[in-house]
């Protein structure tokens, strides 16, 4: 019985690394900084890394606009993040302001407000705090962390306090 040894990243050929990176990008949309980080795990020269990045962009494995749009849809629809959090997370990933503006168009304004209203109502009811000031603070902190706009949060908390 023989066990095959797993190749280390040092012994991979350039084509094997390219294949791995293609799969990495095809599996899920990635931003340039994520791919650069992944490339640093392989023993490649700077020239080879740049060559791979150009190849990925030219063959549409890597597209920052597509990544930003996908990221925006996913984080809003599934994690219920607000625009502020999405913008900050995209900035952390070095996405340009122009692409961020394009990506935010993925969120319909009416759907955005409906999501906030539903989430706010459920969260307010779920808070079991008796002290109104503490309940208000917990409510506001939660939505600020999620990246919702301050004016939306404060208007809603005033509305919910009256109920």
Identify whether 3 is part of a domain: no
Residue 120's domain spans which residues?
109-161
Residues 94 and 134 in one domain: no
User: For 9-23, what is the mean pLDDT?
Assistant: 87
Residue-wise pLDDT tens digits, 49-88: 999 999 999 999 999 999 999 999 999 999 999 999 999 9
Q: Considering the domain boundaries, does residue 5 fall inside one?
A: no
Residue 5, pLDDT above cutoff 70 = no
Average pLDDT of the chain, as a whole number? 92
In a shared domain, residues 87 and 116: no
Give one DSSP letter per residue of 103-144, joined into a string: HHTTS-HHHHHHHHHHHHHHHHHH---SSHHHHHHHHHHHHH
Per residue in 99-154, pLDDT (tens digit) is: 999 999 999 999 999 999 999 999 999 999 999 999 999 999 999 999 999 999 99
Query: Phi then psi for 29, rounded to 5 degrees?
Result: -60, 135
Regarding pTM above 0.85, the answer is yes
| pLDDT above 50: residue 4 | no
125 and 99 share one domain = no
> What pLDDT does 10 receive?
59
Structural domains counted in the chain:
3
The reply to whether 147 and 121 lie within a common domain is: yes
């Amino acid at each position: 019985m023989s066990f095959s040894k797993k190749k280390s990243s040092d012994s991979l050929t350039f084509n094997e690394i390219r294949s791995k990176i293609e799969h990495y990008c095809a599996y899920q949309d990635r931003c340039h900084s994520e791919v650069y980080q992944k490339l640093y795990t392989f023993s490649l020269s700077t020239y080879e890394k740049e060559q791979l990045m150009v190849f990925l962009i030219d063959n549409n494995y890597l597209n920052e606009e597509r990544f930003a749009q996908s990221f925006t849809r996913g984080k809003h629809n599934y994690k219920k993040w607000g625009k502020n959090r999405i913008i900050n997370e995209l900035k952390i990933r070095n996405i340009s302001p122009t692409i961020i503006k394009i990506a935010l168009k993925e969120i319909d304004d009416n759907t955005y407000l409906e999501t906030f209203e539903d989430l706010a109502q459920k969260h307010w009811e779920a808070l079991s705090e008796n002290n109104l000031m503490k309940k208000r603070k917990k409510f506001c902190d939660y939505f600020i962390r999620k990246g919702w706009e301050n004016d939306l949060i404060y208007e809603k908390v005033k509305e919910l306090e009256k109920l």
